[in-house]
Amino acid sequence: MKSQLICIGDELLLGDTVNTHASWLGQFLAQAGAPLARVHTIADRQEVIKQTIRQAMEEADLVITTGGLGPTHDDITKEAVASLFGASMVLHQPTLDFIKEQFIKKKIPFSSSNYYQAKVPENCEVLFNSNGTAPGMWFHKNNCFLAVLPGIGHEMKALMRQKVLPKLSENGGIPSKMYSRYIQTAGIGESTLSDEVIGPLDSFLSENLHVAYLPSPKGTTIRISSLAESEKQAKEQSRALVAFIKKQGSNVIIGEGKHYSLGKAVGDLLVVRKATLAVAESCTGGALASTITDIPGSSAYFLGGITAYSNQMKQQQLGVEAQTLKKVGAVSKAVALKMAQQVAVHTGANIGLSTTGIAGPGGGSPQKPVGTVWIGFWSKDRHFCLKAFFAHNRLRHKERTTAVALEVVRRTLLNIETMPYGLKPHTN
């Protein structure tokens, strides 16, 4: 089934409201076996709404609109749909009774605009909205289903689950199921992962089996999407592809699951190894400790951290010598190594991890440009650091540095020789 979504509202185009409906409906419809092929975001203009719906219904099996069903003058979706189909507006008495009942309960005056919300095009089937005052509407025209839904998030989601999905099933509109599997990787770029590690996948892929690489500063997610008549068949259809990807990417794969994180992967390893971790942070400003402690149960392996942002704090809390800071600066191999070692010594942790860098936008030099970072690692068996160059954007720099630092721990614990992004270890 081919689906299209039309999100209506000037506020979406002006950036006043973030369009979260597209992401939620994209996921919901994919899982239901009716993945979105196109998303339209359009203004509150009757001719634009009519033209977009008309075009979408010619191309898709299912069209969903959200927004423009409220009581104010800019809510014109209902009128646009009625005009498109040449239909008159009629009163839907159950909706009117429900609205009046809600207003009485809340002791809110009932107005003519609220009365008008109970009017619908005469040729629609009403999708009763028990969570708000704007009913949804259902049409079946020219072999296409059209669901006109309110823009309020919880109302739209409830109508999708309770009304739209059952109606599609009743009409034989969802003959298949989508099964998605998410494999998380870290410490490798999207193109390197695809071209050099995983390699060509053409022999596995088909019209109903797809792979997508989804990059972020934290790593790249591999999404395998399989469409079949049942979830069991969809899983079986993707089995060989998943096995191949896991084999090819064994060193860079940290785990499975849409929300599985690097912090969780490192935490699980520390528990298995019965090891503890402490961090000394400068450029990440506490982000590393925060990411680690986002995981429930992290107190079992995380002893604590020191955010030594100034040179004075590096000297007082971590024993970095003033002479070293003067000679090579805070963003250096010597300082990163010292910070990692000393935070482990002070806390009694098995592993010490450090970050020191130039997050920008200022503070760089030709020798140490903005984005330069050193990440230090210490344990009784290994003591090294890595030098890297990340984004000029402060927040992205912190996020990327945090992810690479954690991936250094994961790979070291697993005795994986290659470091994230092919970075070379530096020792004393």
How many whole angstroms from its chain centre is CA 132? 29
The predicted structure's pLDDT at residue 291:
97
Q: Count the alpha carbons within 13 Å of 212 in the hemisphere toward its beta carbon.
A: 8
The CA-based angle 395-400-401, given to 5 degrees, is 100
Enumerate residues 6+ apart whose C-beta is below 8 A from 47. Answer: none
Mark the ranges of the chain whose per-residue pLDDT is less than 70.
172-176
The predicted structure's pLDDT at residue 175:
58
| DSSP state string for 89-111 | EEE-HHHHHHHHHHHHHHT----
Q: Count the alpha carbons within 13 Å of 285 in the hemisphere toward its beta carbon.
A: 10
Asked whether the beta carbons of 208 and 237 are under 8 A apart, the reply is: yes
Other Cβ atoms within 10 Å of 184 Cβ, number: 23
The predicted structure's pLDDT at residue 261:
96
The one-letter amino acid code at 411 reads: R
| Distances, alpha carbon 100 to alpha carbons 94, 116, 135, 155, in Å | 10, 12, 14, 18
How many whole angstroms from its chain centre is CA 412? 28
User: Domains along the chain?
Assistant: 3-170 (3.40.980.10), 177-256 (3.30.70.2860), 262-422 (3.90.950.20)
pTM to 2 decimal places: 0.79
- Give the pLDDT confidence of 263-300 residue by residue, as tens digits: 999 999 999 999 999 999 999 999 999 999 999 999 99
- Cα 167 from Cα 1, distance rounded (Å): 14
- Cα 399 from Cα 265, distance rounded (Å): 17
Enumerate residues 6+ apart whose C-beta is below 8 A from 171. Answer: 140, 145
What is the dihedral sign for C-alpha 203, 208, 209, 211?
Answer: positive
Residue where the block lists tokens 């720099």:
397
